[in-house]
Amino acid sequence: MSQAPEVSRGPVVTPVRVVIGLCLIAPFVAMLWVGSYAKTDPAFIGIPFFYWYQMLWVVISTALTMIAYQLWRRDQRARASRKGGAEQ
């Protein structure tokens, strides 16, 4: 009985994928660590820290998600080109 040749897909955990994971997990850690922002000072244009910190993370989360998506697309294109396919 003959075995099928192994297909080399490359490593599953790469530095790029670690960065992607960090970009996606950072907002969760920041928001779940309530003790770090459960205070009123420093206020920003009259808004207590508790509120503006969370709203700032909305913007930061958007940017980090966009970065993670772009890195993922680049990683997938690189894997497809190494494989010789035309995956998107």
CA 1 to chain centre: 45
Q: In whole angstroms, what is the distance from residue 9 CA to residue 83 CA? A: 8
Residue 6 has pLDDT above 60, yes or no: no
Mean pLDDT of 7-18: 78
Q: Domain-by-domain residue ranges, the chain?
A: 31-73
CA-based nearest residue to 7, from 77, 75, 71, 79: 79
pLDDT over 70 percentage in the chain: 84
Query: In b/e form, how buried is each residue of 36-57, taking b as 16+ CB within 10 angstroms?
Result: ebeeeeeeeeeeebeebbeeeb
Q: What is the mean pLDDT of residues 81-85?
A: 75
Instruction: Please check the confidence at residue 5 and state whether its pLDDT lies above 90.
Output: no
pLDDT of residue 36: 86
- 9 pLDDT above the threshold of 90: no
- What is the pTM for the complete model shown? 0.76
